[in-house]
Structure 1
């Protein structure tokens, strides 16, 4: 997304910002939006990120200077993730120090996961350079969810201790939703140190036409149901496949599952689809550029979000949900605490892990499209507080606050 760069506003003089994120920059909407927001305000942003498996990116993207460490993320078990996090921590720390010799940073902005990535800024913290920590997800909950451990386990306690130390080390903490904020505050982090900046949806400057999407991805004509995002058991996509097979009178509907996942899980979904007679009505497409993924989602008849119920998803506010709301898609989502508390009556809920319940929800929305399209407008009104303008204002207020730590925090959430 290209932004006009202007002189720094009342948040202070132009900053030289180092942003560190264990992610592929081009396909991470939250990291990109925040980096581009800062560039648009006249600040310089140097982003240290993962190298995509497709190969090195351009040195600059929409005004953000990219520095990719020679490491690509690979899915795997807990030890695989820990190894990759540790390698990225070491490589990014070295690169950050080397860049500092050329670009004298006056703000370090760290994205999590992992939370301990914030400690790559330790030498700069000793030089009184402010450090921001952005928690995309709550690390204790994600650890026990992925490892299938109870919340009272040693894994949870250790992760919670690391999270708390990371938050106390940072000058200020940004979180992606109020559920994460409540969890962090419950672990003895002062509410004044934590601000919510929800994920938002912004249309890019180069929209992809529906015809081009179908052509480029080889999609059939007719109605589509689309999942675009991570492809993992946590997304409960087996329930979605079974639910589509149970839909009566909708044989013209094709299911598209787009995104990156473990090959064995994708093969299991493919096998399930063939077993249920959906082999010719389901398409798997790989991870794609952000603009193409958004155009694909726009083709979906319904805004579907599927998640299993675990400690992490209890606090989830998926980025793709914001995109679906912005596209005015009637919503079908799992009955989970944070989703229900925000969306209230603006969505059709189903019990997580229940194919029959999801099929009934899909059938109701497909049959009563007009009624649920009005609910989509209601969802858009509910989510107005998560718009891009407010997110930008909150982010810039946080920058001003780390310059002036005596300024009290505004409302804890957007």
Structure 2
């Protein structure tokens, strides 16, 4: 029996993955959605005390720590070994919890895809198993290691992706472009796959005063926040700033985040002599990102084209739209699926000269900045967290009622 969309009996759900829960905004959103529907939620996650936030414990949410092996990230063998050990530990804990909790739904987050097999006992006991593909592993592997998409490791990863998707009762994937590719490649039927992008929580990413879109701070602050990897293209943005150094002396480029490419970015900043205008600002808590963005003037999404990155949707673009920042964005298929030319300023991927031209165009044209902000804000009405919550909870209820 349900009242107002909630069950009068407390139901149990589990989130599982190689999750640092305290800083994983996507998983936290799903947990909140389930709480709103009356679920009690366990989260099987890794422990990382260095990344704790100030979040208070939430009633009806239990964090179950699965200890991982120390591993050398540069060794593929050690990485795989550590991942397999984590899988077996998680499967053991999840199986034991299944007999205690009698889960209605188990939601497994990749990477890797085969984590979904940790849910074999709950599945046999009648739980709904959802596989959530944050990133497509075969393409990411090919991009990271510079190998062909036809290589043996990539083919093996495609096989793992296929059997993992078939094992799950339903697959959630991070954007519509990837969903269509899974369907076209015959990995999974259309009815068993749903695209749910990681749209921002507008309570955290509150909009600036619209008038501010016409004005620039002094200095004008251009911002990037996110990961530092080769394909995120932060180096392209730094090269663009080097071209603007003399033309726009009152500009600063603020870079927030971290990742394996950080040392290379610092070297590039020194090599180009742009230390005065390009600042590496370190990481910032997801809870504070909106506040940081509201203090900036122009945002950039400098992602490079190619395998994986063409179809990987940059969720920071939605955060920029929510805050009301005009954005200069790399023209790749995933971004163009969601935002038109009149809502962001697109430049050719990897082209620092073209990116510099677009930044200068926004810098010099307050009406254009304002127009992009207004249009992107209208577009965001279709991409709110409310739509994601509705889509997710309706999916869970439908699967659970079968």
Aligned counterparts of 2:79 and 2:161: Cα–Cα separation in 1: 17
User: Which of 346, 349, 357 is residue 346 of structure 2 equivalent to?
Assistant: 349
Aligned counterparts of 2:247 and 2:153: Cα–Cα separation in 1: 47
User: Which of 23, 28, 33 is residue 29 of structure 2 equivalent to?
Assistant: 33
Q: Residue 191 of structure 2 corresponds to which residue in structure 1? A: 192
User: Which of 109, 125, 128 is residue 107 of structure 2 equivalent to?
Assistant: 109
The size of the alignment, in residue pairs, is: 387
User: Which of 262, 273, 277 is residue 266 of structure 1 equivalent to?
Assistant: 262
Aligned counterparts of 1:283 and 1:53: Cα–Cα separation in 2: 27
TM-score relative to the length of structure 2: 0.88
Native 8 Å contact 1:50 1:73 kept in 2: no
Aligned partner of residue 385 in structure 1, secondary structure = coil
Native 8 Å contact 2:347 2:354 kept in 1: yes
Aligned partner of residue 251 in structure 1, secondary structure = coil
Shifted more, 8-17 versus 356-365: the winner is 8-17
Is 1:375–2:372 an aligned residue pair? Answer: yes
Native 8 Å contact 2:222 2:251 kept in 1: yes
Q: Which segments of 5 or more consecutive residues in structure 1 lack a partner in the other structure?
A: 1-5, 210-219, 406-414
Q: Residue 69 of structure 1 corresponds to which residue in structure 2? A: 66
Q: Residue 358 of structure 1 corresponds to which residue in structure 2? A: 355
Q: 1:362 to 1:73 in 2, by over 3 A?
A: farther
Aligned counterparts of 1:7 and 1:89: Cα–Cα separation in 2: 38
Native 8 Å contact 1:227 1:297 kept in 2: no
Deviation (angstroms), 1:80:
5.1
Aligned counterparts of 2:230 and 2:271: Cα–Cα separation in 1: 18
Deviation (angstroms), 1:360:
0.8
Q: Residue 298 of structure 1 corresponds to which residue in structure 2? A: 294
Deviation (angstroms), 1:326:
0.7
Q: 1:98 to 1:396 in 2, by over 3 A?
A: same
Native 8 Å contact 2:6 2:37 kept in 1: no
Q: Deviations over 1:247-274 (max 9, x none)?
A: 1432222222211212xx3222112112
Aligned counterparts of 1:87 and 1:33: Cα–Cα separation in 2: 27
Aligned counterparts of 2:296 and 2:110: Cα–Cα separation in 1: 31
TM-score relative to the length of structure 1: 0.86
Shifted more, 135-144 versus 118-127: the winner is 135-144
Q: 1:174 to 1:206 in 2, by over 3 A?
A: closer
Native 8 Å contact 2:71 2:78 kept in 1: no
Aligned counterparts of 1:257 and 1:303: Cα–Cα separation in 2: 10
Aligned counterparts of 1:109 and 1:201: Cα–Cα separation in 2: 20
Aligned counterparts of 1:93 and 1:59: Cα–Cα separation in 2: 28
Aligned counterparts of 1:110 and 1:278: Cα–Cα separation in 2: 43
Aligned partner of residue 380 in structure 1, secondary structure = helix
Root-mean-square deviation (CA), in Å? 2.6
Q: Deviations over 1:164-205 (max 9, x none)?
A: 111111111111110110121123110000111121111446
Q: Residue 213 of structure 2 corresponds to which residue in structure 1? A: none
Aligned counterparts of 2:7 and 2:356: Cα–Cα separation in 1: 50
Q: 1:90 to 1:318 in 2, by over 3 A?
A: same
Q: Residue 212 of structure 2 corresponds to which residue in structure 1? A: none
Aligned counterparts of 1:126 and 1:392: Cα–Cα separation in 2: 27
Aligned counterparts of 1:127 and 1:50: Cα–Cα separation in 2: 25
Q: Which segments of 5 or more consecutive residues in structure 2 lack a partner in the other structure?
A: 209-216
Deviation (angstroms), 1:38:
0.8
Q: Residue 392 of structure 1 corresponds to which residue in structure 2? A: 389
Shifted more, 378-387 versus 10-19: the winner is 10-19
Native 8 Å contact 1:317 1:338 kept in 2: yes
Matches within 5 A, 1:15-414: 15-52=11-48, 54=50, 60-61=57-58, 64-71=61-68, 75-76=73-74, 78-79=76-77, 81-188=79-186, 189-204=188-203, 222-247=219-244, 248-262=246-260, 265-345=261-341, 346-405=343-402
Native 8 Å contact 1:8 1:14 kept in 2: no
Q: 1:321 to 1:165 in 2, by over 3 A?
A: same
Aligned counterparts of 1:206 and 1:335: Cα–Cα separation in 2: 24
